[in-house]
Amino acid sequence: MRSYEDLQYAFLQLELAARYQEAGRLEGFIRNTGNALWGDEDFLYTYWYELLNALADFVDIREDEDTLICRMYFSDAVIQDYFRFAQRHAEQAGIPLKQDVYYLDALSYFNNTMLDYCPYSCWFRLVTQTHHECGFGLSVWIYEDQFTDWEPLLAGLLDVMAYFRSSMEILASDDKTGQVISFSHPAQAKEAA
């Protein structure tokens, strides 16, 4: 850092590192960006792809130059474990995965979080394709010519990754990852209230 003016950018870099730590991805952040404190206003844009690749164990980014669409897919061991648990829960309850309360909770959190961070600027969905090794994950599509602010997208994805991590930590600490936990359906809970 050359001056105190650059200090604000160093704090932003530290804040970003803290978000990666909350999401359980600090090692990937350090591996992909280094451990030096830059204090550079262009840190996010300089390391954009490295930051995306640090988000999950499996990252697939495809840019279509003809349509200017960027398709991103993120899958992580924690997401895989969460949806395997939800799948077992659904099977034991005799319902499809997409009707299971754990799936619906994750879907609601993902949709609401991404809408809060990136309203009207990207499309996203939870992917549950069990025939693929990394078939549980997050899919995000953006039109690059209409998308101008990358920071909220990264913050939203980190928030969602932290959700899956904390959800699995709670399930594991309660020793419930191997058994069925019954919750009422969110719609039923709203009707009861």
Which residue, among 12, 48, 18, has the nearest Cα to 33 in the 3D structure? Answer: 48
Supply the pLDDT for residue 184. Answer: 44
Instruction: Show the tokens assigned to 15.
Output: 């804040």
Q: What is the domain partition of the chain in residue ranges? A: 1-54, 57-192
Top-tier CATH class for 57-192: alpha beta
The secondary structure element, H or E, covering residue 78 is helix 77-93
Rounded to whole angstroms, what are the CA distances from 132 to 70, 75, 136? 21, 11, 8
pTM flag (> 0.85) = no
Q: What does the pLDDT profile of the chain (193 residues) look like in tens digits?
A: 456 676 777 788 788 888 888 888 888 888 888 777 666 677 767 777 888 888 888 888 898 888 788 889 999 889 999 999 999 999 999 999 999 999 999 999 999 999 999 887 788 888 887 656 677 888 888 887 777 778 888 899 999 999 999 999 998 887 665 554 444 444 444 445 4
Supply the pLDDT for residue 1. Answer: 46
Contacts 24+ apart (CB under 8 A), 112-117: 113/156, 113/159, 113/160, 113/163, 114/140, 114/156, 114/160, 116/156, 117/152, 117/153, 117/155, 117/156, 117/159
